[in-house]
Amino acid sequence: MNKLITRRKFLTTSSCALGAAALEESLFQDAAAQTIEITRIDLNHAWVFQGAGCNVFAIPGINENGVLMIDGGLTAHSDALIGAVLNTFGQDRVHTLVNTHWHPEQTGSNERLGAEGANIIAHEKTRMFLENSVMSSLFDGRYGPLADAGLPTMTLGSSGSFKFAGQEILYGYLPAAHSESDIFLYFPILDTLITGGPVTTGEWPVLDIRHGAWIGGLLRAYETLGQVVSADTTVIPAHGPIISGTDLLRMRAMYTNFHLDLAEQLNLGMGPKDTVKMALLDQYVDDFGDPSLFIDHAHRSLQRAYVPD
């Protein structure tokens, strides 16, 4: 039985802690025992749904005859999530699903929606990982492969745009930031940024170091996203409360300073356990929780980048 370990051990307060509690077959057991609550936030012409395992952004179609959803939550919560989304918009199907990356919390609705005929859009590496059985720093065991119906039908490269409901939607690839398949999406008309996995609020992001992520990639993602936002941009993180562009820039500064501190620790010959003891991020505990796992993974990822084995 697979079991998600990372956030469960170290983070207990966010809506994601519920979603991170289990995976695959164990999810169904947990789902039977739990009543999940899907909550929604009105963003004026768009909604964010929380409680299914990750933040889910959605807008109604105009000529598309169906909804656009960005990320799909965990499989066990998919029915509740999709029911809430369709009720909100009074539409009877999901026309397009976008996966910001391949993790189970984002791709749990793929098989159902794909079988129902939805377009599924994701980075080309997301499709590659979903076609295979993959491991992660996020959970024990393996995830996938998904059934063919759940695989992306349109794959994206490094950057570009596509249209939905008459709106242009810009996207960009964020290499090695949280997984090895992260994209962000930006809606200029709504001035809304969906960050994907590299940005979390209320908890530290997972660096999926078994999947190519490293602290330098995370920092580079913040630099890219920092160029997309203005002060008042609505920023939807992968997990946790919605923030502004100004908040994102503050977080960029936090990670920039942390990266410098980490490099200094590495240069002094410190190991991950020593670095965790340095309490480099303790001033942020109230906002993000215990940083121990994040620091440990960040240190290991930097060590690997500088001293490959």
For Zn ion, the closer CB: 103 or 112: 103
For Zn ion, the closer CB: 95 or 123: 123
Residue nearest to Zn ion (CB): 103
Residues lying near Zn ion in the complex (CB under 5 A): 103, 197
CA dihedral 200, 205, 207, 211 (to 10 degrees): -40
For Zn ion, the closer CB: 60 or 216: 216
- Alpha carbons 159 and 109: distance in angstroms, whole number: 24
Residue 197: CB minimum distance to Zn ion, A: 4
For Zn ion, the closer CB: 174 or 280: 174
Residue 136: CB minimum distance to Zn ion, A: 8
Angle between helices 215-228 and 292-306 (to 10 degrees): 100
For Zn ion, the closer CB: 61 or 197: 197
276: its two tokens: 């965790």
CA distances from 274 to 257, 268, 292 (A): 18, 11, 11
In 10 A of CB 179, how many CB atoms?
A: 31
For Zn ion, the closer CB: 64 or 208: 208
Residue 172: CB minimum distance to Zn ion, A: 17
Q: How many residues does the chain have?
A: 309
Residue 179: CB minimum distance to Zn ion, A: 6
Judge contact between 240 and 16, C-beta under 8 A: yes
For Zn ion, the closer CB: 103 or 127: 103
Residue 279: CB minimum distance to Zn ion, A: 26
For Zn ion, the closer CB: 99 or 192: 99
For Zn ion, the closer CB: 185 or 280: 185
Residue 230: CB minimum distance to Zn ion, A: 26
CA distances from 25 to 46, 104, 107 (A): 32, 12, 15
Residue 44: CB minimum distance to Zn ion, A: 27
